Chains A and B, each alone.
Chain A
Amino acid sequence: DQQVKQNSPSLSVQEGRISILNCDYTNSMFDYFLWYKKYPAEGPTFLISISSIKDKNEDGRFTVFLNKSAKHLSLHIVPSQPGDSAVYFCAADTGNQFYFGTGTSLTVIP
């Protein structure tokens, strides 16, 4: 039962353009959402989060949008840089555990 879904396994974007990574969830009890970035052979690194009481959170080049009615969140990276190439996981928090999506592999082309 995949409660958090990332339907795009991969995404390629030109350097300098915007990267948009999407995530859908099914459980309306989730109250906190996070994005993690993962390089091969390393653990996930926390990137940005958003509480369910907000619809947008911005941190430098990274912005997360939350649409509760659609149960959808997205991560925008602008401008995209080659160093952003990694696998991005969205996660939803119930308080006790995180549910992770299956990840989207982002490639930023120089």
Chain B
Amino acid sequence: NAGVMQNPRHLVRRRGQEARLRCSPMKGHSHVYWYRQLPEEGLKFMVYLQKENIIDESGMPKERFSAEFPKEGPSILRIQQVVRGDSAAYFCASSDFTDTQYFGPGTRLTVL
């Protein structure tokens, strides 16, 4: 049973470009969570999704950030018009009906 997959592992963007981060949950998991880790900080919750639904996006910046988890395919975290402050490690986690979340390896976004 493959774990949570994230791609790309590293992403470099120039200011103003768009960044798309993908997350494939573990097989059988229908809950996906996105977290951001800034240097010297812990993981900060961004958004919680189930298939085709956003359940909680209270941690997501109101502008430029969006997330989706379609019926088919991976969950996507999209950052439009990236700025240097968006540089961070973005982790996705998935869970089934239990409370334990399993994390992917992360995508390291660098904005030049």
Q: In the complex, how many angstroms separate the beta carbon of B50 from the nearest chain A beta carbon?
A: 11
Q: How many A residues face the partner with a CB closer than 8 A?
A: 24
A41-49, A69-77, A78-86 - interface stretch: A41-49
Q: Which residue of A lies closest to B4 (CB)?
A: A43
**Would B91 and A46 count as touching, CB distance under 8 A?**
no
Alpha-carbon distance A34/B40, docked complex (angstroms): 20
- Chain B residues 15 to 62 lying within 8 A of chain A, measured CB to CB, are 33, 35, 40-45, 48, 55-56, 58-59
A89 is contacted by which of B4, B43, B104 (Cβ under 8 Å)? B43
**In the assembled complex, how far is the CB of residue A33 from the closest CB belonging to chain B, in whole angstroms?**
10
Measured between C-beta atoms, what is the minimum distance from B67 to chain A in Å? 13
List B contacts of A93 (CB < 8 A). Answer: 99
Instruction: Find B100's partner among A46, A96, A97, A102 (CB 8 Å cutoff).
Output: A46
Q: Check if A98 sits within 8 Å of B106, measured CB to CB.
A: no
Q: Contact residues of A with B, CB < 8 Å?
A: 4, 6, 32, 34, 36, 41-46, 49, 89, 91, 93, 95-103
A-B contact pairs, 7 of them (CB 8 A): A43-B106, A46-B101, A49-B99, A97-B33, A98-B33, A98-B43, A102-B41
